[in-house]
Amino acid sequence: MHLDPPPGIAAALTHSSTLRRLLYEALAALGLDPTDTYRRAYQGLPLAPPLLDAREGHDNAPRFWQALEGISGDVDIGLHLGEVMKPRPQDVVGYLLLASRDLRQALEAFVRFQHILSGGFVARLEQQGDTARLIIDLNYRGVGSLRQQMECLALLLYKMLASVTDEGFCLSAIDFRHPAPRRLSEHRRLYGLLPQFSQAHDALIFPCALLNRPSRSANPRLFALLSGQAEQELAELAENQLLNRVRYWLGVNLGGQPCSLARCAQALNLKAGGLQRALAEQGSSFRALHDEVRRSRAVQLLENGQAIREVARACGFAELSPFYRAFRRWQGATPQAFRSAADGEALAHAAQTLGQ
């Protein structure tokens, strides 16, 4: 039985260990000790071995990618890891890509089962005119798009899609959310073009005609069998429940981007009306979840001593007066009164502890 997290709190997302297994091999190929690299990046945080069926904490991943450039001394380490990676299938999603009828079916499977790979994926396939865009956003709470991770992932996906299309896949453009680095020669060498930086999404852009390119490894019966297995694995992810996905999306975007029903629905590959109905069937609504996440964040930040104006901004309020009204509705007191009461309780607890 799966239980929803407490109001306003999203269950922790996870990702498969597939990428870490590939990273171990790639680090070794570049002359870096994988175990030592991870140990230094995680600085004593326990890290389980990358077993075939293991799940890892999604929001811990930035520790590795943020430390990697300093550990390796390579400003383009993400690109160089992607260059030496061998994109062979190691999980149900990888095998689905190879068994797909054509590139369209492969990418639809990738989008459908993206959360088996990582709970933080917000991937979708878009078509406009003669151009297709595979958006591969990977989100973390409190952390923006990670340059080294996304440049590595984009190169790895490029290789995987090339293998699906018998090396027929080609890029028209690549978009990245992170700012442009100073040096771009390695980007041109490995992608065959210069990416566009500071864009709205991380995305691979290619001609729509490639979507109908058949795969030499297509196997309809195997694809059907693997799809059933992937559906089962997806259903077993408690974190993937709708209420949790919406809470997590709100937690990532609150205070930084507009948090509308339409934007959330797009990120979850749903129509706004469909998301609204699905939430209603579970006794909730987007507005109620938005309120829950705002309330939870406001309480946490006030208890941590953050300035009230900063708390309001972090909760998505442009002005103080609506924040005050909302907080009084949530807690029955002003933010100042709440903080004073919380400080009093903390002092009383500390005094009681010292007296024991």
What pLDDT digit, counting tens, does each position of 159-211 carry? 999 988 988 999 999 999 999 999 999 999 999 999 999 999 999 999 999 99
Q: For 110-161, what is each residue's pLDDT tens digit?
A: 999 999 999 999 999 999 999 999 999 999 988 888 999 999 999 999 999 9
Q: What is the pLDDT of residue 1?
A: 34
Cα–Cα distance for residue pair 199/221, rounded to 1 Å:
40
**Mean pLDDT computed over every residue of the chain:** 90
Helices (H), 121-219: 147-164, 185-191
Cβ neighbourhood burial of 186 (10 Å; 0-12, 13-18, 19+): middle
pLDDT of 40 strictly over 70: yes
User: According to the model, what pLDDT value does residue 344 have?
Assistant: 63
Say yes or no to pLDDT of 349 above 80.
Answer: no
Q: pLDDT at residue 355 above 60? A: no
Q: Which residues 6+ apart lie within 8 Å of 302 measured at CB?
A: 308, 311, 335, 338, 339, 342
Judged against a pLDDT cut of 90, whether residue 30 lies above it is answered with: yes
Looking at residue 350, its pLDDT comes to 47
Q: How confident is the model at residue 280 (pLDDT cuts 50, 70, 90)?
A: very high
Band of pLDDT at residue 337, cut at 50, 70 and 90 = very high
pLDDT at 190: 97
DSSP states of 68-111: HHHHHT-TTHHHHHHHH------SHHHHHHHHSSBHHHHHHHHH
Residue 240 — very low, low, confident or very high, per pLDDT cuts 50/70/90? confident
Output the six-digit token pair for 355.
Answer: 């007296």
The yes/no answer on whether domain 241-351 falls in CATH 1.10.10.60 is yes
Mean pLDDT (whole number) for 204-219:
95
The whole-angstrom separation of Cα 279 and Cα 243 is 7
Query: Residues 11-22: what's their mean pLDDT?
Result: 86
User: In the CATH scheme, what architecture does the domain 14-228 have?
Assistant: Alpha-Beta Complex (3.90)
Q: What residues pair up with 131 in beta bridges, in sequence order? A: 128, 207
The residue that leads in pLDDT, 198 or 44, is 198
Cα 254 from chain centre: 15
Mean pLDDT of the 68-92 span: 94
The answer to whether residues 41 and 64 touch, using CB atoms and an 8 Å cutoff, is yes
The CA distances from residue 153 to 30, 175, 349, in Å, are 17, 13, 48
CB within 8 A of 109, min separation 6: which ones?
A: 93, 96, 97, 100, 223, 227, 230
Residues 62 and 140 sit within 8 Å (Cβ to Cβ): yes
| Band (252; pLDDT cuts 50, 70, 90) | confident
CA distance 255 to 318: 9
pLDDT score of 50: 67
Tell me the pTM.
0.80
Could you tell me the residue ranges of all domains in the chain? Answer: 14-228, 241-351
Angle value at C-alpha 264, between 260 and 268, nearest 5 degrees: 170
**Is the distance from CB of 59 to CB of 12 less than 8 angstroms?**
yes
pLDDT for 7 equals: 53
Which of 41-45, 93-97, 298-302 shows the lowest mean pLDDT across its residues?
Answer: 41-45
Give the pair of three-digit tokens for residue 157. Answer: 């996906």
Q: What is the mean pLDDT of residues 250-268?
A: 90
Three-class secondary structure of residue 38 per DSSP = helix
Q: What pLDDT band is residue 347 in, cutting at 50, 70 and 90?
A: very low
How far apart CA 22 and CA 16 sit, in angstroms, is 12
Burial environment of residue 204 by CB neighbours within 10 A (0 to 12, 13 to 18, 19 or more) = buried
The length of the chain in residues reads 356
